Amino acid sequence: MNLIDQQIEASWAEVLKDDFQTDSFGKLGSFLEEENRRFSVYPPMNSMFQAFNLCPFSEVKVVILGQDPYHGEGQAHGLAFSVPEGIKAPPSLKNIFKELKSDLNLEIPLNGNLSSWAKQGVLLLNATLSVRKSEAGSHQKKGWEEFTNSVIRKLNEGREGIIFLLWGKFAQEKASIIDASKHFILEAPHPSPFSAHRGFLGCKHFSKTNVLLEKAGKNKIDWQL
C-alpha cells in the first residue's frame, strides 16, 4: 500500500500538495512499503494521517507536538500521545491526565483516546508519523521530519493565533519555525516520567490555552474525555 495513495482531508491535501511531490516524500513512501513488507509498522498505514483527517487546516486552534508514535502493539492510531479505547494509557499520557486533573479538576479518563480534542481543533502531531514495532525512533530521519516541519511552516504562514504547546526539548526546537508575534508558544518539560516532575506537572497549559482562546473570541477546548 503506497503512502501517497493514502487519503488525507481535503484542505490539508491542498495545502500540502507540493510536499507530496517531493523526492523526499517519494523516498519515504518507498521506505515504508519495504518496512511494511518486512516488519510490523505502527500505526496502520490507513491511520498515519489521522491527525489531519480529524482536524482540517482552517480549524486548527492548538498544536500539541509529539516525537514518535507509540511502538507497542495496538497503541498508535495516528494522534500524538493518544491510544485507542481499550488500550492502557502509557506513562506520558497518564501524566497528561494528572495535569488535567490538577489544572482543571477533571476526572482521570477511563480511556486514552484523544480524538475528541482533535475534532475541536487540537492538531495532535508527531514529528515522525510511523515506527517499527518495539523499536522507538526507528523511522526517524527517513523523511517524516521534513514533511511535518513543512506542516508547521504552513500553519505558521497561513494562519494566525494558533497556540503551540511544546513539551520537551525536541518539541521546543520547533519554536524556531514559529512566528511568536502572530502565534502563542507555551513551553514545558515533556510529560514523560523522566521529566514531568521538572515542570510539566503544574504547567497549567490546558487552562492557559482556554484563556487565550477565550480572549481571541474562540470556543474553548473541552478537555474532558
Confidence of residue 7 (pLDDT cuts 50, 70, 90): confident
Mean pLDDT of 179-196: 97
31-72 pLDDT per residue, tens: 999 999 999 999 999 999 999 999 999 999 999 999 999 999
Q: Among all residues, which ones are annotated catalytic?
A: 68
Give the separation between CA 71 and CA 121, rounded to whole angstroms.
26
Give the separation between CA 141 and CA 211, rounded to whole angstroms.
37
State the pLDDT at residue 6: 73
What is the DSSP pairing of strand 163-167 with strand 184-188? Answer: parallel
109-129 pLDDT per residue, tens: 999 999 999 999 999 999 999
Distance, C-alpha 18 to centroid of its chain:
21
pTM: predicted TM-score of the whole model, two decimal places: 0.97
Mean pLDDT of 76-88: 98
Give the separation between CA 52 and CA 10, rounded to whole angstroms.
9
Confidence of residue 1 (pLDDT cuts 50, 70, 90): very low
Distance, C-alpha 219 to centroid of its chain:
20
State the pLDDT at residue 4: 61
Confidence of residue 5 (pLDDT cuts 50, 70, 90): low
State the pLDDT at residue 185: 98
Joined grid coordinates for residue 144: 517524516
